[in-house]
Amino acid sequence: MSIYANMFELKVNWAVTPSSGGVKTFTQVYHYFCTASPLPTPAAVITAFDNGPASGIAGLLNVDCVGTTYDCREMSNANNQYTTVANGQTGGTTGDRLPMDMAVCFLLRTGARGRNFRGSKHYGPITEADTLRDELTTGKVTSWNAVGTAISGLLSVTGGSLRPVVFSASLSQTRTNPTTLIGEDITAALLNKNIGTMRRRREKTVR
């Protein structure tokens, strides 16, 4: 278990249009420990992520997925508000997509045991042609493994770098000052070749 002094929370928001219409928001949340001096601004962290992992992720998503915003804040001060910046990324694969609740999944490993120190990431919607029966095609496994390397690696900012962290919300205290930020550095992002699910992304029943 590690206690962190300077940690950023970054929310990456996407919009997807269900077959029945309307808009559904998909969000991935990342946490980074800052080793840079001086401390970068949330906007600088967003820029680093947008120029780094975000483009690789977007290129593997279906064109139905359109970036909306990034929200980022430094968590050591409970009063810090999110900085919001437009997310200009868009899905880069064409063709019919899988249902919205189906996703490419990563297991995030750390050096500590227990569910507080394990994480996951779910990416979708995915283009149907990128799968063969229940699994990703061989070519897409290679492409998504590159994403795993990006989200588990250092994020470069001016003056230093950011380390990706599995943040334990249940062990931490972020509502009042002084905050307590507990987690562990991510050591690996393990790709599941089979397609996973996220039930809350499922389209509502249509009759």
pLDDT tens digits, one per residue of 141-172: 999 999 999 999 999 998 789 999 999 999 99
- State the total domains in the chain: 1
- CA-based nearest residue to 98, from 69, 141, 130: 130
- The answer to the question of residue 29 being in a domain is yes
What type of residue is 125? P
E strands present in the chain: 2-4, 7-16, 24-34, 65-74, 83-86, 102-110, 119-123, 131-132, 135-136, 155-157, 160-167, 181-191, 196-197
pLDDT for the residue 38: 87
- The answer to the question of residue 26 being in a domain is yes
Structure tokens given for 69: 């915003």
- The answer to the question of residue 206 being in a domain is no
Q: Which residues pair with 205 in a beta bridge?
A: none
**136, 148 contact by CB (below 8 A):** no
Domain enclosing residue 16, as ranges: 2-201
- CA-based nearest residue to 45, from 86, 81, 74, 88: 74
pLDDT at 202 exceeding the cut of 90: no
- The answer to the question of residue 106 being in a domain is yes
Please provide the DSSP assignment of 104-128 as one string: EEEEEEESS-SGGG-EEEEE---BG
pLDDT at 200 exceeding the cut of 90: no
- CA-based nearest residue to 55, from 26, 27, 87, 9: 87
pLDDT for the residue 79: 97
- The answer to the question of residue 116 being in a domain is yes
- The answer to the question of residue 207 being in a domain is no
Q: Using a cut of 0.85, tell me whether the model's pTM lies above it.
A: yes
- The answer to the question of residue 144 being in a domain is yes
**198, 124 contact by CB (below 8 A):** yes
- The answer to the question of residue 7 being in a domain is yes
pLDDT for the residue 159: 79
pLDDT for the residue 96: 97
